[in-house]
C-alpha cells in the first residue's frame, strides 16, 4: 500500500497547480517540479512506531499517550500535560474548565487561525478582538489594557509564526485584572520568552500537532498547565468521566465509571502518540534545519527595500513555524496576490497567515467589523506571504525560492 504524503512524486502530483496567466515575459529561474508549502516530514521511525502500535492490543488512548505526555511535559518543562486530538480541543477545554461562558468576554487577536476565536463562541462567550504590534504581529498589550471591561474573563495571546507575544506585559495585565491567561502556542514549539520555555508556566498553554506544524501527529494537540487544572481538563476531554478506559479495561480494573460533567470526546490515540514520540526525539534537529533556512532567507532578502523581514526580539527564542515576508507598500507594481501567482508560476508554493478573523463572514456580520477595524492586522495581511519553511527543504529548494522571489521583485520593482 502506498502512503501518498510520503512519496515525493505522488505528493507533488496531488498538489501541482495550473500555472497562472503568463507574465509579460516568461519567468527565468524555473523549477521543474512544484515545491509544496509545507509537506510533513515522516520517516521510517514514525512508520515503525505506528505499525508497532497497530500490532499492539491498544490503539486508542493508552500507554503511548501517557509516554508522550510525560516526554512532552519534560521537553517544555510543563508542570503537567494532557494530550488531546487538536489544539482547538485544548483551547476549548481550557475555556470550559475555567467556566467561561455567556456574559463573559475573552480578548484575543484577529491575526490568527479562526479556531482561536471559534472556541470563544463555542463556550458562549464574546470574543473581543484587539490589534497586533507592527513588528511581531502578536497581540498588542496596550490594546488589551484598553479593551478590559468588568466582563473580561480571559486573554488568549497567540505566539504568531513562533514569535512569543509580549508576555511580561500580558501576564501583568492578567494578574492585575484576575484574568485567565490562555496561550495559543500552536506555532510555538519550541519557543522561549525571557529564557522560559513556552508551556513551562502554571497557566494553560495549547499546542498543535496538525500536519503542517513543527511537530505533527497528523491531528493532535497538548494542553499544559498546573496539575489540578490539567486533571480537570483530562476529565472534561473524556466525556466527563473520572476514569479512562485504559484503566477500566486493565486486569484488576473496575468496570464502574462515573460521569461528573457532560464532557467532550477530545482524547488522543496511541497511534497519534506513537508519531509524536518519534517527532519529539527529532525536534532539535528539525528546528536546527528551520533556523538554517531562515538564515538563508535573511541573507538573501535583507537590505532589499522591497521587503520587510520577520523580526526576532532579543528576549525571545523564535520557534520559526512560519517565515512571513512582508512587501513594502509601493515597492512593487503588483500586489501580494499577484506575487503569489507569479511564484506559483515558478513552481513555488506559498501561504498567507492569516485572513484576519474579523473579515470572515461570520465575525464580520455578527460584530459589524470592517477591514479597517484592526488596521495593523489588515494592512500587514494585505502585504504578507509565507515562504516555504520546513525541515524537508534542501539547500537547492531554498535557493529556488530565493531565485523566484528575487526574479519577481526584479521584474516588477517600481
Binding-site ranges for ligand PLP (CB under 6 A) = 86-88, 112-113, 115-116, 158, 184, 186-187, 208, 210, 221
Running DSSP on this structure, what letter comes out for residue 265?
A: B
Element (H, E) at 87: helix 87-97
Pairing of strands 221-225, 80-84: antiparallel
Backbone angles phi, psi at 221, to 5 degrees: -160, 170
Query: At its nearest, how many Å lie between ligand PLP and the CB of residue 7?
Result: 24
Nearer to ligand PLP, 125 or 409 (CB): 125
Long-range CB contacts for residues 145-149, cutoff 8 Å, separation at least 24:
145/173, 147/107, 148/107, 148/173, 148/177, 148/179, 149/105
Count the Cβ atoms, other than its own, within 10 Å of residue 311: 14
CB of 60 to ligand PLP, least distance (A): 18
* Burial class of residue 255, CB neighbours in 10 A (0-12, 13-18, 19+): exposed
282 given a catalytic annotation? no
Least CB distance from residue 146 to ligand PLP, whole Å? 23
Q: What are phi and psi of 24, to 5 degrees?
A: -55, -40
Among residues 213, 265, 282, 366, which one is catalytic?
213
Q: How many CB atoms lie within 10 A of CB 264?
A: 17
Beta bridge partners of 126: 105
Q: In terms of CB distance, is 266 or 307 closer to ligand PLP?
A: 266
**Residue 222 Cα distances to 88, 91, 184, angstroms:** 10, 9, 11
Centroid of chain to Cα 46? 21
Cell of 140: 498588542
Rounded (10°) CA dihedral 349, 360, 156, 71: -40
Q: Name 391's bridge partners.
A: none
Whichever of 186 and 405 has its CB closer to ligand PLP, that residue is 186
Strand ranges for 260-412 from DSSP E: 307-308, 316-317, 323-327, 384-387
We find the least distance from the C-beta atom of residue 221 to ligand PLP, in angstroms, to be: 5
Nearest distance in Å: CB 192, ligand PLP: 18
Question: Cβ of residue 158: shortest distance to ligand PLP, in angstroms?
Answer: 5
Quote the CA–CA distance of 347 and 12 in Å, as a whole number.
11
Q: What is the DSSP letter of 269?
A: P
Q: Which is nearer to ligand PLP, 72 or 113 (CB)?
A: 113
Specify the residue, 158 or 316, whose C-beta has the smaller distance to ligand PLP. Answer: 158
- Residues 6+ positions from 397 with CB-CB distance below 8 Å: 35, 388
Q: Around Cβ 240, how many Cβ atoms within 10 Å? A: 14
Pick the closer one to ligand PLP by CB: 114 or 231.
114
Shortest approach of ligand PLP to residue 84 CB, angstroms? 9
Quote the Cα angle for 348-350-354, to 5°: 175
For ligand PLP, the closer of residues 98 and 347 by Cβ is 98
Cβ proximity to ligand PLP: between 80 and 188 the closer is 188
Pick from 353, 355, 307: nearest CA to 330: 307
Q: Is 99 helix (H, G, I), strand (E, B) or coil?
A: coil
**Min dist. Cβ of residue 86 to ligand PLP (A):** 3
What is the set of active-site residues? 213
Amino acid at each position: 500500500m502506498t502512503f501518498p504524503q510520503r512519496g515525493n512524486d505522488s505528493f507533488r502530483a496531488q498538489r501541482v497547480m495550473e500555472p497562472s496567466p503568463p507574465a509579460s515575459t516568461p519567468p527565468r529561474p524555473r523549477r521543474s517540479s512544484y515545491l509544496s508549502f509545507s509537506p510533513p516530514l515522516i520517516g521510517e521511525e514514525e512508520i515503525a512506531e505506528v505499525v508497532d502500535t497497530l500490532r499492539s492490543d491498544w490503539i486508542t488512548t493508552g500507554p503511548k499517550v501517557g509516554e508522550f505526555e510525560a516526554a512532552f511535559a519534560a521537553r517544555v518543562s510543563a508542570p503537567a500535560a494532557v494530550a488531546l486530538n487538536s489544539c482547538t480541543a485544548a483551547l476549548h477545554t481550557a475555556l470550559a474548565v475555567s467556566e467561561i461562558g455567556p456574559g463573559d468576554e475573552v480578548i484575543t487577536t484577529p491575526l490568527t487561525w479562526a479556531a482561536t476565536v471559534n472556541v470563544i463562541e463555542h463556550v458562549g462567550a464574546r470574543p473581543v478582538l484587539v490589534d497586533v504590534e507592527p513588528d511581531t504581529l502578536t497581540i498588542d498589550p496596550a490594546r488589551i489594557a484598553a479593551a478590559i471591561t468588568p466582563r473580561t474573563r480571559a486573554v488568549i495571546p497567540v505566539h504568531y509564526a513562533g514569535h512569543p507575544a509580549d508576555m511580561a506585559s500580558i501576564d501583568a495585565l492578567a494578574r492585575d485584572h484576575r484574568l485567565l491567561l490562555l496561550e495559543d502556542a500552536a506555532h510555538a514549539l519550541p519557543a522561549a520568552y525571557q529564557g522560559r520555555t513556552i508551556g513551562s508556566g502554571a497557566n494553560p498553554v495549547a499546542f498543535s500537532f496538525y500536519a503542517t506544524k513543527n511537530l505533527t501527529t497528523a491531528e493532535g494537540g497538548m494542553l499544559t498547565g498546573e496539575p489540578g487544572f490539567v486533571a480537570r481538563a483530562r476529565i472534561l476531554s473524556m466525556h466527563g468521566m473520572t476514569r479512562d478506559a485504559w484503566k477500566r479495561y486493565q486486569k484488576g480494573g473496575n468496570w464502574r465509571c462515573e460521569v461528573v460533567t457532560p464532557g467532550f470526546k477530545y482524547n488522543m490515540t496511541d497511534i497519534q502518540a506513537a508519531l509524536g514520540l518519534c517527532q519529539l526525539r527529532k525536534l532539535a534537529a528539525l528546528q536546527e534545519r528551520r533556523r538554517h533556512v531562515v538564515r538563508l532567507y535573511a541573507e538573501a532578502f535583507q537590505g532589499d527595500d522591497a521587503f520587510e523581514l520577520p523580526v526576532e526580539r532579543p528576549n525571545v527564542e523564535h520557534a520559526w513555524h512560519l517565515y512571513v515576508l512582508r512587501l513594502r507598500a509601493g515597492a512593487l507594481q503588483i500586489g501580494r496576490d499577484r506575487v503569489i501567482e507569479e511564484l506559483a508560476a515558478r513552481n513555488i508554493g506559498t501561504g498567507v497567515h492569516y485572513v484576519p478573523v474579523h473579515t470572515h463572514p461570520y465575525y464580520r456580520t455578527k460584530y459589524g467589523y470592517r477591514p479597517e477595524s484592526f488596521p495593523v492586522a489588515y494592512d500587514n495581511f494585505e502585504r504578507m506571504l509565507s515562504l516555504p519553511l520546513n525541515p524537508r527543504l534542501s539547500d537547492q529548494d531554498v535557493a529556488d525560492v530565493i531565485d523566484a522571489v528575487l526574479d519577481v521583485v526584479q521584474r516588477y520593482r517600481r
